[in-house]
Amino acid sequence: MRIFIAIALPKEIRVVLTRLQEELKKYYLGIKWVNPDYLHLTLMFLGEVRQDKISNIIQKIQEVAFCEKKVEVSLSQLGAFPNIRHPKVIWVGINSGEKEIAAIACKLQACLEKLKTSEEKDFACHITLGRVKSFRDEPAFVDSLSSLNENLCKEKLNFTADKIIIYKSTLTYKGPVYEALKEITLKAT
């Protein structure tokens, strides 16, 4: 199974992010947008994992979650990897709660290191909105991100991250389909 670990976003946050996607869709046809129902904050991508390893993964995540507090998260601005002039991924960043989320991701990576099948990347706390397939108009893209960032800053996009979710991702010709295998609550007080 193709597995990743993430924090789900509340519906009200997904609604605002979907509006951002809709605005950007007006200008850019060469972007594969993340399904609004699947918007999330990835903590770790494990890749292909054998079914018999899932219970061990759940146990290790529970051990981490038992020691972690809920995290108050606020979203910041739009951005792009590797940069806005040559975007491959369009994302929304995390303002407050970033250090706490990064610490949880680091602990998960440490305890699941031997189970991981994907190549290691530095953790970047963000929510992917879309992946760029083709890109032409750099000035218009930079202008639209700037304009949308002003609108985004006016919104109070806060939520409490209180669960870690293990997702199964099935690739289809219409895009990935995510299935939550297990929700694990952050327990520390």
Residue of 72, 66, 45, 13 lying closest to 166 (CA atoms)? 45
Residue of 88, 8, 1, 114 lying closest to 50 (CA atoms)? 1
Q: Residue 154 phi/psi, 5° resolution?
A: -75, -25
User: Exactly one of 13, 126, 145, 167 is catalytic; which is it?
Assistant: 126
Superfamily of domain 2-185: Cyclic phosphodiesterase (3.90.1140.10)
Instruction: Show me where the domains of the chain are located.
Output: 2-185
Contact 166, 184 (CB under 8 A): yes
Rounded (to 5) percent helix, strand, coil in the chain: 35, 35, 30
Residues of the chain short of pLDDT 70, as ranges, are: 27-29, 114-121, 135-138, 153-154, 189
> Is residue 126 among the annotated active site residues?
yes
- Strands 71-81 and 158-161, bridge-based pairing: antiparallel
User: Look-up: residue for tokens 């991508």?
Assistant: 45
User: What is the pTM assigned to this prediction?
Assistant: 0.88
CA 188, CA 185: separation in Å to the nearest integer?
9
Q: How do residues 129-162 score in pLDDT, each as one tens digit?
A: 999 887 666 677 777 777 787 777 667 789 999 9
User: Exactly one of 4, 28, 40, 94 is catalytic; which is it?
Assistant: 40
> Is residue 40 among the annotated active site residues?
yes
